Amino acid sequence: QVQLVESGGGLVQAGGSLRLSCAASGRTFSTYGMGWFRQAPGKERDFVAFISSSGDTTYYVDSVKGRFTISRDNAKNTVYLQMNSLKPEDTAVYYCAARSVVATTFDYWGQGTQVTVSS
Predicted local confidence at residue 102, as pLDDT: 83
Neighbouring C-beta atoms of residue 97, cutoff 10 Å: 23
Predicted confidence at residue 104, as pLDDT, reads 84
Q: From CA 106, how far away is CA 23, in angstroms rounded?
A: 16
- Which residue type sits at 45? R
Q: Are 91 and 115 in contact, with CB atoms under 8 Å apart?
A: yes
Q: Which residues of the chain have pLDDT under 70?
A: none
For residue 74, the model assigns a pLDDT of 94
Residues of 76-91 as b/e, b for ≥16 C-beta within 10 angstroms? ebbbbbebeebeeebb
